[in-house]
Amino acid sequence: MKGQNKLFIAIIIGLVLGVIMGGVVHTQYPESIDSFSKNIKLLGTVFIRLVQMIIAPLVFTTLVVGIAKMSDMRMIGRVGTKAMLWFISASLVSLFIGLIFVNWLEPGHVTQLPIQDHASAEDLIKSSKGFSMEDFVKHIFPKSIFEAFATNEVLQIVVFSIMFGVALANMGEEYTKPIIKAFDICAHAILKMVGYIMWVAPLGVLGAIAAVVATNGFEIFKVYAIYLRDFFFALAVLWLILCVVGYLIIGNRLFELFRRIKEPLLIAFSTTSSEAVFPKLVEELERFGCNNRVVSFILPLGYSFNLDGSMMYMTFAAIFIAQIYGIDMTIGQQITMLLVLMLTSKGIAGVPRASLVIIVATCTMFGIPPEGIALILPIDHFCDMGRSMTNVLGNALATSAVSKWEGQLDHHGGEL
């Protein structure tokens, strides 16, 4: 928690310094705006390239481990099927809510930024609109996994990872346990790298904000206020839907569930990590009355496949970045993006800012400048608080619901 607080403070300092530097250049040295913006933006470029560097290995290792461990579903049978039906339904609802509200409220249309990329704006928009079914099929199926890794073709990596994970799951534990353990260690090591790379974020924020303020003045801050307002409004709607569904399944016990998980919710909110509360959440769900076997099976799966808040944020943030750069995406392209995120979000752990990695990859895939992610980093901490709480709520409800369906929910609860 202390490290996250220090990082948050460092990002805020980077934001303030960026605003000051950009403001001084914008008002006092207008003749130097172009050269200043071009050079200071390199700090953001370094950060983005570091994030892009770990996309392929992170998706590959986390997804292979998640799929390979799903061999337990054959032992638990219908419990796993019900859990996956909940996960898929909740994922689609979360992604659609993000898509609907970002299109309705249009927070990115308050101002527009020039596309600072090697391609021109017209080329990017043209290539975006030309994303055909043939292109989509080519993006799905790799002709070489090494080429997919080298070019960060996330969908191709997902396809290979799923097939590889399924193959491991069907080979028998005595053969695959060492390799699954090795991939698990690699996944944790890469997530550790995410933590290191995030310490470059303050410099990335400084570079991105200084360049934007120098070019656009202080108008950019209207965007932040509107972005936070619209995101939390959409998040409140998602909470309402989750709570209504939860009430329909477990009735008045929903309020008891909230009393039980209030501490995990608060910890997730303050640490911006839904994984930080995993042990405590297991304990409280068992005290609530959920069957131990159901909890131990569904909750770990939920942390890979049921991050409702993070998924809503992915569609919201990706379309927001497209809006702020003036890139209009058709409904078909947005639905395609939703399906891409439905696949690529699976297996990403609930650690602080892990979803940003997927947003960067998705933006790149759809011709949206990935450096746009640096613009929302200064306020991402506040968004992360909300989505981390939502991830915890979604997994608690999923575990409670499946326990109820299985007749494994003790109505009296119990102290451990």
413, part of any domain: no
160, part of any domain: yes
373, part of any domain: yes
d(C-alpha 23, C-alpha 138), whole Å: 45
Domain membership of residue 248 as a residue range: 2-405
36, part of any domain: yes
Phi, psi of 110 (to 5 degrees): -65, -40
Determine the residue type at 366. Answer: F
415, part of any domain: no
416, part of any domain: no
183, part of any domain: yes
Q: How many domains does the chain have?
A: 1
pLDDT (tens digit, 0 to 9) for every residue of the chain, 416 residues total?
Answer: 555 567 778 878 888 898 899 989 988 888 888 889 889 888 888 887 887 788 788 878 877 887 776 655 555 567 778 888 898 899 899 999 999 999 998 887 776 655 544 333 334 334 334 345 566 577 678 889 898 888 877 768 878 887 888 788 788 777 888 898 898 899 888 878 877 887 888 888 888 788 878 887 777 677 788 888 999 999 999 999 999 999 999 999 999 999 888 888 887 786 666 766 777 888 888 889 887 777 777 777 777 678 898 889 989 999 998 888 888 888 888 998 888 888 766 655 545 566 777 788 788 888 888 878 877 877 787 888 888 899 999 999 999 998 888 877 776 554 43
- Look up tokens 């909230």; give the residue: 258
What is the model's pTM?
A: 0.69
- The DSSP string of 304-340 is HH--HHHHHHHHHHHHHHHHHTT----HHHHHHHHHH
CA distances from 219 to 19, 178, 372 (A): 11, 55, 16
CA 364 to chain centre: 15
Which burial class, exposed, middle or buried, applies to 335 when counting CB atoms under 10 A from its CB (0-12, 13-18, 19+)?
middle
Burial 71-88 (b: 16+ CB within 10 A, else e): bebeebeebbebbbebbe
138, part of any domain: yes
Burial 91-108 (b: 16+ CB within 10 A, else e): bebbbbbbbebbeebebb
Q: CATH number of the domain that 53 lies in?
A: 1.10.3860
